[in-house]
Chain A
Amino acid sequence: AQSVTQLGSHVSVSEGALVLLRCNYSSSVPPYLFWYVQYPNQGLQLLLKYTTGATLVKGINGFEAEFKKSETSFHLTKPSAHMSDAAEYFCAVSDVSTPPLVFGKGTRLSVIA
């Protein structure tokens, strides 16, 4: 069965600092990996995804993530945090044989001025 572990339920960074949100997954077959963002009182918006091909994927708002099979990781990064990045971030895993997404518990990102 697939599972996702997000390390840190709450991460706080200063404006302009590096953002690093950690995600490790478990999957018996090659995974599809996703990062979603949820702003307050809104639904989930796709930030980026990895299905096949290049392991470094770029998403919206300057975020990127790298699929590392050997480490079963898909960490999300952004070089310089902006106040508007404050939100909750969810990592999710799926695979072609069992499509429903399995989500991690989420990481709330706070950005301090």
Chain B
Amino acid sequence: DADVTQTPRNRITKTGKRIMLECSQTKGHDRMYWYRQDPGLGLRLIYYSFDVKDINKGEISDGYSVSRQAQAKFSLSLESAIPNQTALYFCATSDSGWTEAFFGQGTRLTVV
């Protein structure tokens, strides 16, 4: 099993719908992150969490919200999806020593 698991892997949704992307990890890490990847723009940070009670906005948090349900679970929500939120979304984890980040396989989201 993968260390960082994202569900769903692919999703098509309509404009205005609420959608949740889920991430779970078995690394035992405290720190979790959500990134968005767009062609030519690299990965941009949406939100991050250093522990269950800590949530921080990243570079592009507008239109998104997150929930850290447990040490191992970090979900990303789009309250009212819009087409320019069509992208590849990655969840990542790291330990407090910050030796590296471990990434999930990604969720490809299309908003029509």
Q: Do A and B bind each other?
A: yes
Chain A residues proximal to chain B, CB less than 8 Å:
6, 9, 32, 34, 36, 42-46, 49, 51, 90, 94, 96, 99-106
Main secondary structure of the interface of B (DSSP, over half): strand
Interface size on B, residues (CB 8 A): 24
Is the pair A103, B104 in contact by a Cβ cutoff of 8 Å?
no
Given A43-B105, A44-B90, A99-B94: A104 and B42 within 8 A (CB)? Answer: yes
Q: How many A-B residue pairs have CB under 8 A?
A: 52
Is the pair B42, A94 in contact by a Cβ cutoff of 8 Å?
no
User: Residue B45 at the A interface, CB < 8 A?
Assistant: yes
Chain B residues proximal to chain A, CB less than 8 Å:
4, 31, 33, 35, 40-45, 48, 50, 58, 90, 92, 94, 98-101, 103-106
Residues of B within 8 A of A51 (CB): 99
Is the pair A43, B40 in contact by a Cβ cutoff of 8 Å?
no
Least Cβ–Cβ distance between A76 and chain B, in angstroms: 15
